[in-house]
Amino acid sequence: MRGFYSGLIGGMVAGLWVIIWAIMVRYEAVFNALTSLELWINYLIFQIGVAGILGGVFGVVYSRFYRGIRGEDVKKSLLFGLIIAMLANVVISTDRLLHFLLLEGEHGQLLSEGVGWLLTSLKWILYGFVLGIVYERLKL
């Protein structure tokens, strides 16, 4: 359960970071899309909830492989977060690039994909950092 709770908290922090980033960098698009309080609440629940659930699942995986990951304490979880980021980006980027290049022929989306790749990487690296801190604090 230690891994699940640590991952849940890490995922929720990572989801909150995505919201903050979206507001800071793309505030006009975000505010135009989220026109009511209900949409804002749904967006918050979705971002924090989905990242929290995935974080909890990844936290269980992390706890199972904890001894096999190189490094000490938080360095282990940062490496784990980086691995998740790489796997997530391969799946997401491949799918989106194939969609834009093959179906729509839009080459201008490549820069946008690079920004999305960076955002996803930072999200899961932040997740790994928080996971490690909480995981080490919850030692029983």
Q: Which of 22-31, 44-53, 56-65, 76-85 has the lowest mean pLDDT?
A: 22-31
Question: Global pTM?
Answer: 0.67
Q: In the predicted model, is pLDDT for residue 18 greater than 60?
A: yes
The two most distant CA atoms of the chain are separated, in Å, by 54
Q: Where are the domains of the chain?
A: 2-137
Binned at pLDDT 50, 70 and 90, residue 93 comes out as: low
Least confident of 4-8, 17-21, 80-84, 102-106: 102-106
Mean pLDDT highest for which of 18-27, 60-69, 86-95, 107-116? Answer: 60-69
What one-character-per-residue DSSP string does 79-107 give? HHHHHHHHHHHHHHHHHHHHIIIIII--T
